[in-house]
Amino acid sequence: RHKFWETQPVGQFRDAADTSLPDGPIEPPTPLSEVRADPYPLPAAFEWLTCDLDDDALLADLYSLLAHNYVEDDENMFRFNYSPAFLRWALKPPSFFRAWHIGVRAKESKKLVAFISGVPARIRARDDVVRMAEINFLCVHKKLRSKRLAPVLIREVTRRVHQENIWQAAYTAGVVLPTPITTCRYWHRSLNPKKLIDVGFSRLGPRMTMSRTVRLYKLPDAPLTPGFRRMELRDVAAVTRLLRAYLARFVVAPDFDEVDVEHWLLPQEDVVDSYLVESPETHEVTDFCSFYTLPSSVLNNANYATLKAAYSYYNVSTKTPLQQLMNDALIVAKQKNYDVFNALDVMENESFLKELKFGPGDGQLHYYLYNYRIRNGIKPSELGLVLL
Ligand code: MYA
Ligand code: JJ1
201 lines ligand 2 (CB under 6 A): yes
- Taking the C-alpha atoms of residue 359 and residue 186, their distance in angstroms, rounded to an integer, is 9
Q: Which residues are catalytic?
A: 388
Q: What is the pLDDT of residue 289?
A: 99
- Taking the C-alpha atoms of residue 181 and residue 369, their distance in angstroms, rounded to an integer, is 7
Radius of gyration of the chain (CA): 21
Question: Which amino acid belongs to residue 308?
Answer: K
The best mutation among 136, 138, 184 to test binding of ligand 1, ranked by most ligand atoms within 8 Å of the C-beta, falls on 138
Q: What is the pLDDT of residue 19?
A: 80
pLDDT mean values, one per 10 residues, the chain (388 residues): 97 85 96 98 98 98 99 98 98 98 98 99 98 99 98 99 98 98 98 98 97 98 98 98 98 98 98 98 98 98 98 98 99 98 99 98 98 97 98
Which residues does 234 contact at the CB level (< 8 Å), separation at least 6? none
Q: Which ligand is nearest to the CA of 27?
A: 1
CB contact burial 117-140 (16+ within 10 A = b; e otherwise):
bbbbbebbbeeeebebbbbbbbbb
Provide the β-strand partners of residue 285.
Answer: 278
Which residues does 345 contact at the CB level (< 8 Å), separation at least 6? 184, 185, 187, 353, 380, 381
Q: Which ligand is nearest to the CA of 35?
A: 1
Centre of ligand 1 from the C-alpha of residue 138, in Å: 6
Instruction: Please state, in angstroms and as integers, the Cα–Cα distance from residue 233 to each residue in 259, 310, 387, following that order.
Output: 11, 22, 23
Q: What is the pLDDT of residue 15?
A: 85
135 lines ligand 1 (CB under 6 A): yes
Q: What is the pLDDT of residue 13?
A: 87
80 lines ligand 1 (CB under 6 A): no
Centre of ligand 2 from the C-alpha of residue 376, in Å: 27
Shortest-distance Cα residue to atom 35 of ligand 1:
150
